[in-house]
Structure 1
Amino acid sequence: MNDNRWNQLVTDIEGYDVELMVEAGEHLRNEAEVTDVPKLLELLQHESFVVREAASWPLAIVGGSAVLPEMFIAFQRGFDEGLDNDGFSAALIGLVELHPGSSREKLLELKNSPNPIFQKNAEWLLEFC
């Protein structure tokens, strides 16, 4: 995605117009490419849960199982902030449904990680593989 388009979508997602936020999130999900993965991963560190959740959907599609560790960290941050993470949960489930083979392998690896965030979330997400 070109920089102008990327910047416009992110600005709209960060805005206060809910309809525009949702629309921009849908465009981000539909237009993101593999080359956008580094920028999407940066969005997972954003202070706004709306931005983090908007990044989770395209990452599920174009990032695949390789981005599960970063997604788990952002996912846990949402819980730590008192959020229900419904949209993020759906994106994670979508990821394993889109990439079943590589996801199962990565989740088994993360389940055996020394990181408790990875362990707990990998165990939960394995239920969907």
Structure 2
Amino acid sequence: MTDLKTAASAVRENAYAPYSNFKVGAALRAASGRIFSGCNVENVAYPEGTCAEAGAIAAMVAAGETELTEVYVIAESPAPVPPCGGCRQKLAEFGKGEVKVTLATTSGAEQVTTIAALLPGAFGSAHMAGV
């Protein structure tokens, strides 16, 4: 996990957050063991921004990988910040329910959970059967 923490902390520094000043970094480990990271990228048209988790997933997919096995998210906040609803669904798309997700603060607090705990009753490919 130290590698994920280091990667998420480093990429957080690159976040583009001129409007909220809330920088987030995320790193994930793919099934191959490779680590991919992403940071939030804001846009003056708020809905057009990109979350850190989405950026890390996009980097993983761009590299030809489609399964994540561990996630680490870090932000400067009084308590660990969970992924937004959309990112929870994105994590569930590429990771199994038991995948470990560590939520952290820059001051060192950590909370460990799983994708399934973050998104109970997730919509998945099984719901598309017969379509």
Say yes or no: TM over 0.5: no
TM-score norm. by structure 2 comes to 0.35
From the two aligned structures, give the one with the greater helix fraction: 1
From the two aligned structures, give the one with the greater strand fraction: 2
